[in-house]
């Protein structure tokens, strides 16, 4: 079974190992999550656990959401995601609550979230272009992309040329982050490195599938 | 600003008691150094010229003059490699960052020593009383010695 939970990014800090090395870490508030539904191959065509995290006011939820939560005797949830499983899940049923303890003994996780939105960004920020020179006759084109292709032949811009446009606020997965600490009493999971999104952003944390 | 959950994690890797020292103090920083298998403690002596950061990320900068050349080392305050910080001398300074010391050399680098903090009224009274007591006992001892001398001289006559 692939272990997974939903949570929220708390923020980054650093902790010291015993030998004095400082480890950059991100603190995640993970769970408790309610299993809202178990997807089975017979009914749904695939196996997965549908989890819900963070309660929502009943008045804010629509009838469908309320009914879905009522089936497992839970409050409507703000954040619902499915954790895909390789095979049928055993030992976990709808209505059960999962806490951060599921990560005990797991060495690394993948974290999926929505990255910070940058709005309409130029090619330097968005694609890492170098821009034009600061001087030597460059005229108000310092952060421009330069040429976007040949001229008369093919007389059009080739598909896939990197251009300015909307950047960020997209689904990003960071894989293989080492688990530094699991703190069940405060529902905290501490992982090494950065995770997508702003502090307070919702995240899906899964046991890594990287070998 | 800081989130309490973040503080929980930070506190676990912070030292429970941090040695008290201030900007301008001359300190001995005891640094644990691994040499192959053996661990030993190296002492870096100098003036604290800056403290920065908060929580586990707090750092301090110590400056000293080695062979006429200024050397600065920046230490993480909560690192387990910092075994101890001992204040050798307190400097009287009016700034939080003593970067101006970098432009100075020779005698100009010296800082005036800071006098110990002013005592509270009660403590001052107690100190005064103790002093009086000491003086009193000294007077008595002196008088006793005088009497003994007089007695001795009388006896010899």
Taken in order of first residue, the domains within chain A and their CATH numbers are: 4-117+171-207 (3.30.160.810), 118-167 (no CATH)
The label of the residue with tokens 């919702």 reads A202
Q: What is the ipTM of this complex?
A: 0.73
The label of the residue with tokens 């502090």 reads A199
Q: What percent of chain B has pLDDT over 70?
A: 94
Q: Any CB–CB contact under 8 A between A20 and chain B?
A: yes
A134 three-class SS: coil
- Alpha-carbon distance values, B51 to B10, B13, B16, B76, B89 (Å): 18, 19, 18, 10, 17
Six-digit token pair at B56? 């586990």
A101-147: pLDDT as tens digits: 999 999 999 999 999 999 999 999 999 999 999 999 999 999 999 99
- Are A11 and B6 in contact (CB < 8 Å)? yes
* Nearest residue in B to A26, CA atom: B6
Which of A16, A183, A199 is nearest residue B78 as measured by Cβ atoms? A16
Q: Any CB–CB contact under 8 A between A185 and chain B?
A: no
Spatial distance between the Cα atoms of A204 and A83, rounded to a whole number of angstroms: 8
- Alpha-carbon distance values, A160 to A49, A117, A163, B54 (Å): 37, 22, 9, 46
Q: Are B56 and A15 in contact (CB under 8 A)?
A: yes
Helix or strand holding residue B75 (H, E): strand B69-76
The alpha-carbon radius of gyration of chain B (Å, integer) is 25
- Are B80 and A190 in contact (CB < 8 Å)? no
- Are A15 and B13 in contact (CB < 8 Å)? yes
Which of A133-137, A159-163, A177-181, B105-109 comes out lowest in average pLDDT?
Answer: B105-109
Q: What is the pTM of this model?
A: 0.78
């Amino acid at each position: 079974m692939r272990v997974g939970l939903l949570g929220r990014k708390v923020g980054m800090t650093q902790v010291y190992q015993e030998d004095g090395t400082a480890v950059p870490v991100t603190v995640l508030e993970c769970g408790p999550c309610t299993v809202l539904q178990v997807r089975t191959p017979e009914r749904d065509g695939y196996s997965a656990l549908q989890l819900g995290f963070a309660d929502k006011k009943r008045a804010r939820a629509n009838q469908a959401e309320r009914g879905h939560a009522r089936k497992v005797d839970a409050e409507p949830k703000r954040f619902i995601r499915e954790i895909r499983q390789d095979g049928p899940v055993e030992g976990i049923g709808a209505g059960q609550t999962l806490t951060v303890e599921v990560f005990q003994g797991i060495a690394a996780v993948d974290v999926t979230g929505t990255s910070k939105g940058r709005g309409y960004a130029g090619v330097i920020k968005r694609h890492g272009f170098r821009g034009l020179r600061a001087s030597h006759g460059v005229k108000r084109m310092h952060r421009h992309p330069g040429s976007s292709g040949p001229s008369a032949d093919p007389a059009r811009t080739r598909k896939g040329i990197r251009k300015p446009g909307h950047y960020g606020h997209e689904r990003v997965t960071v894989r293989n982050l080492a688990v530094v600490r699991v703190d069940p009493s405060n529902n905290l999971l501490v992982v090494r490195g950065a995770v997508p999104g702003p502090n307070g952003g919702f995240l899906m944390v899964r046991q890594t599938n990287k070998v | 600003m800081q989130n309490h959950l973040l503080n929980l994690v930070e506190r676990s890797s912070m030292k429970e008691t941090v040695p008290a020292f201030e900007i301008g103090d001359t300190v001995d920083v005891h640094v644990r150094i691994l040499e192959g298998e053996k661990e030993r403690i190296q002492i870096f002596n100098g003036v604290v010229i800056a403290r920065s950061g908060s929580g586990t990320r707090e750092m301090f900068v110590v400056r000293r003059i080695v062979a006429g050349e200024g050397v600065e080392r920046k230490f993480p305050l909560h690192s387990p490699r910092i075994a101890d910080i001992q204040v050798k001398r307190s400097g009287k300074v009016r700034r939080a960052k003593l970067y101006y010391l970098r432009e100075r050399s020779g005698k100009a680098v010296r800082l005036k020593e800071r006098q110990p903090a002013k005592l509270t009224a009660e403590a001052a009274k107690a100190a005064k009383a103790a002093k009086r007591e000491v003086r009193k006992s000294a007077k008595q001892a002196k008088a006793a010695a005088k009497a003994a001398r007089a007695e001795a001289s009388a006896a010899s006559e």
